Amino acid sequence: MLLSLRLQRAYEFLEPELVLADVGCDHAFLAIEAVLRSKITKAYAIDNKKEPLKRAEQNIRFAGLENQVFPLLNDGLENLPKDVRQLSICGLGGGLIASILDHEKIKQIQVLVLGTNKDALLIRKKLEELKFQIIDEDIVYEDGVFYELIKAIPGESRLDERELYFGPILRKTKSKVFVSKWKKYLDYLEKIYSKVPEKHQEKRFSLAQEIQLIEEEINDL
């Protein structure tokens, strides 16, 4: 099975042997591939919608993994199996991922692998609040969309404004994809700024600050 670029990076972030729960699993490709490649021996494919879970069940049967990958109709971390030690949530918005993580079951998790195409800042803030530290990050461009991926483990961390906004590791590596994303977003903000009437000073000031923040970051190569 050939994983998409986004899921391949998520796969690489997974830790060997730890039981995985893939929340918002859709087709269960990540869980299936992690078991097929013998990186892990057990996984749960979790979704809160019946149709995606039905597709996941079909793929699991086709791969012959009914005894290793278990589909669960479940809402986030509610009723999370007790043996789960690593959690992947990829393809949802940052705000939704942050809300899913805000659950008492997070205490049993040793590794988080998270991927989003928007509002990664909200994920990083939630990780700090939940006492998880970011140990790896990546950014990929797939089908016209930028995805940020975050790997975190339990531990204290204190991120400054720029680290929260851009990512503590992403802003150090500053890959071509990273720069491309923020240049594109900068163009978007500048167009919005040009259309905000002078009388809306608070909005213009907020946009100007964000524009300056991005300009300083992408020019600091």
Region 166-174: mean pLDDT is 97
148: nearest Cα among 11, 2, 6, 25: 6
Region 24-47: mean pLDDT is 95
Tell me the per-residue pLDDT of 46-61, one tens digit each, with 9 for 90 and over.
999 999 899 999 999 9
DSSP secondary structure of 186-216: HHHHHHHHHHS-TT-HHHHHHHHHHHHHHHH
Region 117-125: mean pLDDT is 97
Under the banding of pLDDT at 50, 70 and 90, the label for residue 1 is: low
Distance CA 93, CA 168 (A): 19
The yes-or-no verdict on residue 150 having pLDDT over 80 is yes
Phi, psi of 138 (to 5 degrees): -155, 165
The yes-or-no verdict on residue 2 having pLDDT over 90 is no
- Burial of 186: CB neighbours in 10 Å, binned 0-12, 13-18, 19+: middle
CB-based contacts of 89, cutoff 8 Å, min separation 6 = 22, 23, 24, 97, 100, 101, 112, 113, 114, 115
3-state secondary structure of 108: helix
Tell me the per-residue pLDDT of 18-33, one tens digit each, with 9 for 90 and over.
999 999 998 999 999 9
pTM equals 0.95
Quote the crossing angle between the two packed helices 50-63 and 29-36, to the nearest 10°.
20
Query: Tell me, what's the pLDDT at 144?
Result: 95
Structural element, H or E, at residue 172: helix 170-173
Under the banding of pLDDT at 50, 70 and 90, the label for residue 117 is: very high
Region 8-17: mean pLDDT is 97
> Quick one: residue 64, left, alpha or beta (phi over 0 = left, psi -120 to 50 = alpha)?
left
Structural element, H or E, at residue 9: helix 5-13
Tell me the per-residue pLDDT of 78-104, one tens digit each, with 9 for 90 and over.
999 999 999 999 989 999 999 999 999
C-beta pairs of 104-109 under 8 Å, 24+ apart in sequence: 105/77, 105/78, 105/80, 106/77, 106/130, 108/80, 108/82, 108/84, 109/84, 109/85, 109/154
- Whole-number mean pLDDT of the chain? 95
CB 66, CB 46: distance < 8 Å? no
Query: Tell me, what's the pLDDT at 52?
Result: 87
40: nearest Cα among 88, 89, 104, 103: 88
CA atoms within 13 A on the CB side of 40: 28
